[in-house]
Amino acid sequence: MSKVAIILGTRPEIIKLASLINEFKKNNTDFTLIHSNQHYSKNMDSLFFEELNLPLPDHNLGVGSASHAEQTSKILSSLDDLFSKNRPSLIIVHGDTNTTLGGALYASKVGVPIAHVEAGLRSYDRGMPEEINRVITDHVSKLLFAPTQETSLNLLKEGVNKSKIHVVGNTIADAIRINSKKVGHWKNKSDYVLVTVHRPANVDIKENIFGLLEILKSIRDLCNHKIIFPIHPRTLSKLKHFNLLNDFNSLDVDLIDPVGYFRFLELQKNAKCIVTDSGGIQEEACILGVPCITLRENTERPETISVGSNYLVGLNNSKFREIFERLLNSDKKYWANPFGDGYSGRSIFNILEKEGYF
């Protein structure tokens, strides 16, 4: 058996695995870093390795943009080739992407134990590809690093053996603890709303993009704040496909290219409000003390709803207007942080060491 393999492939995985990778570096523990290249443009990928001072991957699989089936199958076959002669002692995956699923399926097929970081999240919406990915990964993993007690309970309800589950907090809290002091705090914190939208349910259907346009119009109606919208390549492609880019520009929305981690952290930290359909951003907004409105009907981060940092509205414009207007008139920015003390990477490393994986 060879060393531990850490497999990642997207911007959120790079950010959320950074603290664990740095624990391996700090303790001079041998590991191999594999990048599927599910995210591959500089602004969505390599810039994050540079900013977070991470080692470059030992192997790049070159998966690129493709269908769910193609991405997953490419990862499986590439890992099979890569480890044909010397399999790792453990494979670590994170979250719920096609990279996660591909890594977990490969490991389960060849008998390599799997550690799943950010285990137990559930939206209970099987129409979301991410939900399928996370459920399958959880049920083939040997070590499940759950971020909260609630996610741990999700696993127990599904019959997962309690001995496999470790509640360690969420590594996104590590990233914010380490990096938020490196970005500026603006005096004019309330002069813009930050928007991010990329999920297929919101951008692949023309009628739903019209729903998003109505929500952006509501922001314009209710306040004078600027709207900053770092636009995901998928979203931009769909706006062009449906010939709706001019509609967004007519609202004077600042459509900007995807930005690096520090710039985006700064944008989140100083926003009046965040409007998103991202799971990770719901967590980050909660930890940073910035109210969040989520353009989804469900969330696998219900802790954010419970503490009062996040509101689910889907694409219901009247519901959005009600919540947004209430937040404009509220100064509440303090709630309990449910995602741990910011040392999750250290906790995971210590458990792996205790379990004898290195």
Q: Residues 226, 161: one domain?
A: no
Residue 180: inside a domain, yes or no? Answer: no
- Token pair recorded at residue 96: 């719920």
Tell me if 181 is assigned to some domain. Answer: no
Whether 58 maps to a domain, the answer reads yes
Active site residue 59: no
Residue 350 to residues 142, 145, 344, 347, 356, Cα–Cα distance (Å) = 16, 12, 10, 5, 10
Residues 301 and 348 in one domain: no
Q: What is the pLDDT along the chain (358 residues), one digit of tens a residue?
A: 469 999 999 989 999 999 999 999 999 999 999 999 886 655 555 788 888 999 999 999 988 777 889 999 999 999 999 999 899 999 999 999 999 999 999 999 999 999 999 999 999 999 899 999 999 999 999 999 999 999 999 999 999 999 999 999 999 999 999 998 888 766 555 689 999 999 999 999 999 999 999 999 999 999 999 999 999 988 999 999 999 999 988 898 999 998 989 999 999 999 999 999 999 999 999 999 999 999 999 999 999 999 999 999 999 999 999 999 999 988 666 899 999 999 999 999 999 999 999 9
Enumerate residues 6+ apart whose C-beta is below 8 A from 327: 273, 291, 293
Strands 143-146 and 310-312: unpaired
Domain membership of residue 200 as a residue range: 186-328
Same domain? 230 vs 276: yes
Angle, CA of 175, 291 and 321, to the nearest 5°: 145
Q: Are 19 and 114 contained in the same domain?
A: yes
3-class SS of residue 134: helix
Helices 171-179 and 261-269, packing angle to 10 deg: 90
Beta strand segments in the chain, E: 4-8, 31-35, 59-60, 91-94, 114-117, 143-146, 165-167, 192-196, 226-230, 254-256, 273-276, 292-294, 310-312
In a domain, 178, yes or no: no
Q: Which of 89, 39, 71, 32 is nearest to 55 (CA)?
A: 32
Of 35, 116, 166, 198, which one is the catalytic site residue?
A: 198
In a domain? residue 335:
no
The answer to whether residue 177 sits within a structural domain is no
Q: Do residues 159 and 233 both lie within one domain?
A: no
Residues 345, 320 share a domain = no
CA distance 195 to 219: 11
For residue 188, the model assigns a pLDDT of 56
DSSP 145: E
Q: In this structure, how many other beta carbons lie within 10 angstroms of the beta carbon of residue 127? A: 10
What whole-number distance in Å separates Cα of residue 311 and Cα of residue 269? 18
Residues 219, 312: Cα–Cα separation, whole Å: 16
CA distances to 27, 182, 204, 303 from 282, rounded to whole Å, are 32, 21, 22, 10
| Domain assignment of residue 215, yes or no | yes
24 and 147 part of one domain = yes
Q: Which residues touch 33 (CB under 8 Å, ≥6 apart)? A: 5, 6, 8, 21, 55, 56, 57, 58, 59
Domain co-membership, 344 together with 306 = no
Give the count of domains, the chain: 2
In the block, tokens 């490991």 appear at: 107
CB atoms within 10 A of CB 92: 30
Q: How far apart are CA 210 and CA 29, in angstroms?
A: 51
- Residues 190 and 282 both lie in one domain: yes
Same domain, 10 and 141: yes
Which among 333, 335, 221, 194 has a CA at the least distance from the CA of 277?
A: 194
Asked whether residue 176 is assigned to any structural domain, the reply reads: no
160: CATH:
3.40.50.2000
162 vs 147: CA distance, rounded Å = 15
pTM of the complete model: 0.92
The pLDDT of residue 45 is 59
Residues 26 and 93 in one domain: yes
Alpha helices in 83-185 (DSSP H): 98-110, 129-140, 149-157, 171-179
Task: Examine the domain organization and report whether 149 and 195 are in the same domain.
Answer: no
Q: Where are the alpha helices (DSSP H) in 67-128?
A: 68-82, 98-110
